[in-house]
Chains A and B, each alone.
Chain A
Amino acid sequence: MSGAWWRTLRESARPQGDVRRRNASAWLPHVTRMRERMQSFDDADEVDMAVVGCGAGGATFAQRLAHAGWRVVCLEAGPFWDPEKDWVSDEWGSHHLYWNEPRVVGGTHPVPLGSNNSGRGVGGSMVHFAGFAPRLHPSDFRTHTLDGVGVDWPLAYGQLRPFYERLERELPVAGQFWPWGDPHPHPHPPHPVSGNGEVMLAGCAALGIEARVGPVAIANGRFGDRPHCIYRGFCLQGCKVNAKASPLITHVPDAIAHGAEIRADAMVTRVETDRAGRRVTGVRYVRGGRERFQRAAAVAVAGYSIETPRLLLNSATSRFPQGLCNDHDLVGRYVMVQGAPQTAGRFPDEIRMYKGPPPEVSSEAFYETDPSKPYRRGFSVQTVSPLPIMWAEHVAAQGHWGTDLRQRMADYVHWATLGALCEFLPQAGNRVTLAEEKDRHGLPVARFDHGHCANDDLLMEAAREVMEEILKAAGATELMTVERYAHLVGGCRMGRTPAEGVVDGDLRTFAIPNLFVTDGSVLPTQGSANPALTIMALADRAATRLIAQRPGRTS
């Protein structure tokens, strides 16, 4: 990789003025202070954009528009978090970070929801994501052309690249020079690794597998007025330090500074349209038990892969009897999870995997299609470091219980754990529908049916073998693998035509010109990368294109 060294040097020493001009969040007072000076809009006031959901997609989209002078309200079903008061260094005490409203899962391979694949409150699921922030590969945008599987995107990698670069600088992302996909440096240097990361680096080195430290959206050194990481290990319980990125601290402060209102505890129940169903007029929502209606010139739905389809399906009208924007039966379809088998190895020495951020080391050496294999596409391998409860579930899922369970648990400090992300292919039958069951608002809850295809199973098996090899090469004397799933994308996929997608490459719905979907549900395929950075980049690109079409007010 010639040039890697000087590209890394140049990136790490580049002036940050453009970052600050584009998004001053890291230089503004803490979000808890910013909130005190937040502007509020009246329900009857027609805002330029109402955004539904304040996670990776919604918050990024809202910040960009507000920064350009648009009048924006972002309605979030969950609370406006204060990290110091609301988050704790404790697994069980962090249950409130998840979407715990009822949902039903079915199909041949049902996917448990709630914890690692849901979010609630300002910041969304990035509040408790591990922090891995890789890009997709250029090949991800044309898997059908290249490999005959999945579907091609209406966008090419090159169209998203500048937005990846911008967001890596805003989060910021720390890690070694990335040799895979589109090779690139990261703005912050790699973090020191703990026992689990050392195991992965040693195992990969022994086998000749390339592995790298990072890429993680955790400040390594001061960033603006944000502190650096202190290696406390509770990234998945919300970062009290404010070193790990989530929209709550990376985009919401600047959005508020530019007049956006983040209206928390506001559950949107319906997107309203005019009588002919040609344009949306605003959103109906419930706050404090009272139903309200926020007028808006345009609406962006960003509730993620379960709640976004659910909201559109629950917003059926006489023009859209099967759900808003569902003329072609695409809303709720092609929802994807990544197969995320987790393999643990026992070592004679102490690993103590709970120390330091769980995301440490990653390899994308198996990401691309290998023509010599019986499967298409691939997987990535990363460190994961389960805390006691998650580790107990890992051990119990292997069928261990009673004395066996307790003894294996007592050995906790001797185990290291790797996780894979396998690119499961999009399937029409993997979908969100409305269940008969209703939530406390009286709205039908979401049902998510999911099953594997043959390629999915082959990938899970291949990933398990690779992780076992790595751990054995690092000296593991015993192995345990469990099958899991991670992340969610799809459900309102983008396409070139209305028959192909719910939205176009600019995230505008084909059916209604002033309605957008700006979250992970628009991804047509998922690669083997953690989705957060891609979701933010897509929302950034959509906002940038929208602003260019209609410059905002600058009052």
Chain B
Amino acid sequence: MTGTRLGDDAGAAGRAPTWDTATAGVVLARLGPRRQPSLRFFTPAEEAAAEALLDLVLARSAEDPPVPVLSVIDARLATGEGDGWRYADVPEDPEAWRRSLAALDEEARLRHDGRVFAELGHGDRDRLLRHVLQLGGRDWYGMPAAHVWSLWTRYACEAYYAHPSAWDEIGFGGPAYPRGYLRLGRGRRETWEAPR
């Protein structure tokens, strides 16, 4: 998709002319260039670990649409945009991110002769994450592994699936105000919805 195409073949963002102004403003801002400096919260070491983690959690590949995830999470953590709660056994989100990324590197060093998480091959990274997931409610570097896992996946999914390119990938129609949806029911499509 290019940034300037409009119309039904341009994906969700191409339908922006049918949206209300407030919605278009919020959604289209996700397509523009990120502000510089690109990162404010993560240190370079954390950035490397987070990038490797998010690539794996979201199975990012070179063919993927360019959906910013790391910079979106960094901006949330830098501005303290929380979700309104934290588990009693986990610190506030920004601190939990720092600690969990440090733990990833520490676990990688222990298993792989001092190499940090981002320096591992795909298979080793994958095995390490499976280990964390399998711990469930048990402790992992001072935090319940399940709460760390939910922190990572929550932030990753919120960032990725907020993007119009991700909506196109999954067949979601996107904002529908003021026009609404006209064809409701099993197997029924709007004129602009492609079969999947």
Which residues does A use to contact B, with CB under 8 Å? Answer: 84-93, 95, 98-106, 110, 112-115, 118, 192-195, 198-199, 230-234, 240-241, 347, 349-352, 354-356, 387-389, 391-393, 396-397, 399, 401-406, 409-414, 447, 449
Contact = CB atoms under 8 A, between A and B. Distances in A.
A350 B26 contact: no
Interface stretch (B2-10, B34-42, B101-109, B169-177): B169-177
A388 B22 contact: no
B95 to A, nearest CB: 12
B184 A349 contact: no
B23 A349 contact: no
B187 A413 contact: no
Contacts of B20: 84, 88-89, 240
Given A90-B26, A389-B161, A393-B153, A114 B85 contact: yes
Given A233-B176, A405-B58, A103 B85 contact: yes
Contact of A230 (B27, B160, B177, B187): B177
A95 B89 CA distance: 24
26 contacts: A91-B162, A104-B85, A110-B87, A113-B85, A230-B179, A231-B184, A232-B177, A232-B178, A232-B179, A233-B181, A234-B175, A241-B177, A350-B186, A350-B187, A350-B196, A351-B186, A352-B171, A355-B183, A355-B184, A388-B162, A389-B158, A391-B161, A396-B153, A410-B169, A410-B170, A412-B172
B84 A349 contact: no
Given A98-B84, A349-B187, A393-B154, A89 B175 contact: yes
Main secondary structure of the interface of A (DSSP, over half): loop
A356 B26 contact: no
Interface in B148-167: 150, 153-154, 157-158, 160-162, 166-167
B81 interface: yes
B88 interface: yes
Task: Say which size band chain B's interface belongs to.
Answer: 35 or more
Contact of B59 (A99, A106, A356, A406): A406
Nearest to B92: A102
Interface of B: 19-20, 22-23, 26-27, 56-59, 81-89, 92, 126, 129, 133, 150, 153-154, 157-158, 160-162, 166-167, 169-189, 193, 195-196
Contact of A90 (B153, B175, B188, B196): B175
A399 to B, nearest CB: 6
B22 A102 contact: no
A110 B88 CA distance: 9
Given A198-B186, A350-B195, A350-B196, A100 B173 contact: no
A89 B180 contact: no
A88 B176 CA distance: 10
8 interchain residue pairs of minimum CB distance:
A114-B84, A230-B180, A106-B88, A89-B175, A392-B157, A92-B162, A93-B26, A194-B184
The prevalent SS among residues of B at the interface is loop
Nearest to B164: A90
Given A100-B81, A392-B157, A392-B161, A409 B170 contact: yes
B23 A192 contact: no
A194 B188 CA distance: 9
Nearest to A448: B85
Nearest to B190: A355
A100 B184 CA distance: 34
B186 A199 contact: yes
Contacts of A410: 169-171
Given A89-B177, A105-B85, A241-B177, A392 B160 contact: yes
B181 A388 contact: no
B27 A105 contact: no
A388 B167 contact: yes
B157 to A, nearest CB: 4
A105 B162 contact: no
A388 B170 contact: yes
